[in-house]
Amino acid sequence: MAEANGRASDLKAGFLQIYSRLKSEVLEDPAFSFTEDSRQWIDRMLDYNVPGGKLNRGISVVDSFEIIKGSQLSDDEFFRAGVLGWCVEWLQAFFLVLDDIMDNSYTRRGQPCWFRLPEVGTIAANDGIILRNHIPRILRRHFREKTYYVHLLDLFNEVEFQTASGQMLDLITTHEGEKDLSKYKMPVYNRIVQYKTAYYSFYLPVACALLMAGENLDNYADVKRVLVEMGTYFQVQDDYLDCFGDPALIGKIGTDIEDFKCSWLIVQALEIADENQLKILEENYGRPDPACVAKVKSLYNDLNLQAKFSEYERTSYEQLISSIEAQPSKQVQEVLKSFLHKIYKRQK
């Protein structure tokens, strides 16, 4: 166990060194003549938004590539897998900076959202665009000569499109839900989650590793399906933690109830609530008043949603394990299990 922890911290340290190099490169990009002020702004913006999370998505590119390759990575292979990992983290930062503005959030990763800083404000919208534009610059610099370069560009473009479309579904569903709460149903929820979270958080890191290993992604449709299911499970956990998690552990104060979100909890509640309980939800869900939020949480407890979530977690885990063990490649099985074990019963 100590050895595994030691390897994980070495891996994280090595991964963070790659970030420093990539940051230096984007701050010296010859396509733009930086002034001292603009360089300092980007430097600070990157440090605030890119490396602050758990880095699971990025590091899993390195882990997955090593498992698929079946032997220890050379320094060059570690570096290139790390670069792709950081491209995933850059994409995540781009989404989160803009998502926080759209959701009017207050905290992210234990600190104020970037746009909440008085000197930032709406400049954060342009910072999000810059973060997104760093990705093709990084890919061009490090992968231009590779046979799979065009496939990497296609992959990042497609996943970004899917995620932005999922975000749109989330926003317009919320808009509809404000008028009619009964619109929040499981198929609607699953579609939002699949596009908004699962593709970029679960499929993208593994797809990067497969491309580096010389694989054709068309041959991995079933792996993609399993990863998307895992991403759905991950988002259900996120929704649960938004309401029942410890803000000190998860690094943010949950606002799904106030924001009228089509969350797994509200969908479950609407399915099993009686008429009186439905009336309480309709009167209190989506209201910023803390008393209204408390009424919704109290109703969630009355409906025993914590037990319902525990049951969902157990059955999802069993189904995922059986889908994983049906995969023909032992290496692919190991990659998928490593993802699942990182998230199973997580508290943050």
Task: Please pick, among 57, 63, 78, 99, the residue that the annotation labels catalytic.
Answer: 99
Active site residue 180: no
Short-list 312, 149, 154, 319, CA closest to 225: 319
Active site residue 54: yes
Q: What is the pLDDT of residues 190-202, one digit of tens each?
A: 999 999 999 999 9
Task: Please pick, among 132, 196, 252, 261, the residue that the annotation labels catalytic.
Answer: 196
Low-confidence ranges of the chain (pLDDT < 70): 1-6, 250, 347-348
Q: Please, are residues 68 and 210 in contact by the beta-carbon 8 Å criterion?
A: yes
Q: Please, are residues 256 and 239 in contact by the beta-carbon 8 Å criterion?
A: yes
Task: Please pick, among 63, 100, 127, 170, the residue that the annotation labels catalytic.
Answer: 170
Q: Please, are residues 324 and 340 in contact by the beta-carbon 8 Å criterion?
A: yes
CATH superfamily of the 1-145 domain:
Farnesyl Diphosphate Synthase (1.10.600.10)
pLDDT of residue 4: 59
Task: Please pick, among 63, 127, 239, 242, the residue that the annotation labels catalytic.
Answer: 239
Task: Please pick, among 21, 54, 140, 225, the residue that the annotation labels catalytic.
Answer: 54
Active site residue 100: no
Distance CA 273, CA 116 (A): 37
Active site residue 103: yes
Q: CATH 1.10.600.10 in the chain, residues? A: 1-145, 146-347
The class level of CATH for 146-347 reads: mainly alpha
Active site residue 170: yes
pLDDT of residue 28: 97
pLDDT of residue 103: 85
Task: Please pick, among 15, 65, 78, 94, the residue that the annotation labels catalytic.
Answer: 94
